[in-house]
Amino acid sequence: MPTGQKVRLIRSPISVLGMVLTTVSATVFLVVFLADLFGLHTNPYLGILFFLILPTIFVAGLVLIPLGAWVERRRLARGEAPSAMHWPRIDLNEPLQRRRAVLVFTLTMANIVIVSLASYKGIEYMDSVEFCGQVCHSVMAPEYIAYQSGPHARVSCVQCHIGSGASWFAKSKLSGTRQLLAVSFHTYSRPIPSPVQNLRPARDTCEQCHWPGKFHGDTIRRIHEFAEDEKNTESVTTLQVHVGGGTDRPGGVQGIHWHVDPANEIEYISTDDRRQVIPWVRMKDRFGTVREFVAEGVTAEQLAKGERRRMDCMDCHNRPSHPMAATPERAVNQMMGQGEIPKTLPFVRREAVRLLKANYPSQEAAAEGISRGFREFFRTTYPEVYMSRRQDVERAVSGVAHIYRQNVFPEMNVQFGTYPNNVGHMDFPGCFRCHDDSHKSKDGKTIGQECDSCHSME
């Protein structure tokens, strides 16, 4: 085919569209590349523009160019009139046309830069904590408020929930589209369930900061508890928690983090959607010894329907960034132990728990009810205390109202204990999902409940 005819083939509308897409995507790519090169961003997921969006548009444009030529060739073979676009005749020797061409080119480049930066900042904003917690995800208020007071409050949501790379970004946006529809049509769950499926691997999230090979040894925890008597009698329990950790060293790995030592393989099968029921456990230690433990009364059919998974950080630390109190009693004990609620006010612990357990239609109603309840109790029962220690009474009101705001969301059906926390075993099964003395192997071994394995107590 003569060269001139080939040129006419790619002047079809489809080929021209392909050339436009290819040119624009290449220009945008260069703009984003320069922004990244000069550090004009804080977004760790800029790679999505390089490796997903722009390459897709660029390749699509390249495909359209020969596709348009093929379609045009078919038209000519059928004897139809050419559909090639006729370009305007431009003579840059004429001053008027030259000025117009320069103006059009300048405005086009400016528009491309503006649209590129706007698109870039839009993606950056959608990855911000404010967007996740306050804008589109208002139904996530319980998680957002818990996150703000949690140990990872300086870690952005996307660093754990999305991570770097195009594949996780695409998965998150597809999930976000589904969530947007649920919010728009008010079909979302109340409460929002804690995710257990399709989470990023713990090695890609937790272990980027919490190096599993580091030896942690023991930690000391002091647990304050108060009675419901007039003096709020205090008792303190000291736990020496055998956290353990580390890798291969003399004596092997000890402590709780033995479970996630790379040399050990712990697998389990859960038969419920929250991984709270674990009837089967398989253990392979560093020496190659393998044992399978099965809970009493479990059938092979039940195990076949369950989810099999290798144990990692998230199986115990399932609420690492969104802590919520399991019970009003524990929340009040903690606040009193920290001095946020004056423990010398008579019956303050009992009254705080009573007011937190009351039913309120909203957080605003709860704040009013807690304030009114405290003031009325001290004004009528202990008028002298109310008059002489008014500031302490107001501190108690503020502390208890804060507990409610952090843990109870009537609009989302979130109450104390809505979300299981698998660390420990006092309020939820936690450790006892496996360590219950009922999981037995064929050689008669059991997964025991010896307290000293995890902690010593004073």
Query: Please, what is the angle between helix 390-407 and helix 348-357, to 10°?
Result: 40
Q: What's the structural domain count of the chain?
A: 4
Side chain identity at residue 327, one-letter code: T
Asked whether residue 194 is domain-assigned, the answer is: no
Asked whether residue 370 is domain-assigned, the answer is: yes
User: Which residue in 138, 152, 140 sits closest to 319, CA to CA?
Assistant: 152
pLDDT for position 137: 62
Q: Are residues 360 and 229 in the same domain?
A: no
Q: Are residues 280 and 335 in the same domain?
A: no
Q: Are residues 448 and 309 in the same domain?
A: yes
Which of residues 188, 204, 231 is at a domain's end?
188
Asked whether residue 251 is domain-assigned, the answer is: yes
Asked whether residue 316 is domain-assigned, the answer is: yes
Q: Are residues 259 and 314 in the same domain?
A: yes
Q: Are residues 266 and 378 in the same domain?
A: no
Run of H or E residues at 455: strand 455-457
Q: Is the dihedral of CA 331, 337, 339, 344 positive or negative?
A: positive
Q: Are residues 113 and 12 in the same domain?
A: yes
Asked whether residue 80 is domain-assigned, the answer is: yes
Asked whether residue 200 is domain-assigned, the answer is: no
What the block records as the tokens of 184 is 């728009």
- How far apart (Å, rounded) are the C-alpha atoms in residues 350 and 355? 9
CA 58, chain centre distance (Å): 32
Domain coverage including residue 260: 219-321+422-457
Asked whether residue 364 is domain-assigned, the answer is: yes
**Residue owning tokens 């599993």:** 212
Asked whether residue 196 is domain-assigned, the answer is: no
Q: Are residues 76 and 55 in the same domain?
A: yes
Report yes or no: 332 and 353 within 8 Å, Cβ to Cβ. Answer: yes
Q: Are residues 23 and 120 in the same domain?
A: yes
Block means of pLDDT (10 residues each) for the chain, length 458 residues? 52 82 79 68 57 75 86 81 67 82 80 69 75 75 92 88 71 76 84 82 84 75 94 94 70 77 90 94 91 93 94 91 94 95 96 96 95 95 95 96 96 94 92 93 90 83
Q: Are residues 300 and 379 in the same domain?
A: no
User: Which residue in 297, 301, 299, 310 sits closest to 269, CA to CA?
Assistant: 310
Q: Are residues 295 and 429 in the same domain?
A: yes
User: Which residue in 339, 295, 304 sits closest to 429, CA to CA?
Assistant: 295
pLDDT for position 376: 96
Report yes or no: 426 and 325 within 8 Å, Cβ to Cβ. Answer: no
Which of residues 86, 107, 126 is at a domain's end?
126
Q: Are residues 431 and 295 in the same domain?
A: yes
Which of residues 82, 107, 126 is at a domain's end?
126
- How far apart (Å, rounded) are the C-alpha atoms in residues 145 and 154? 13
Q: What is the pTM of this model?
A: 0.75
Q: Are residues 305 and 361 in the same domain?
A: no
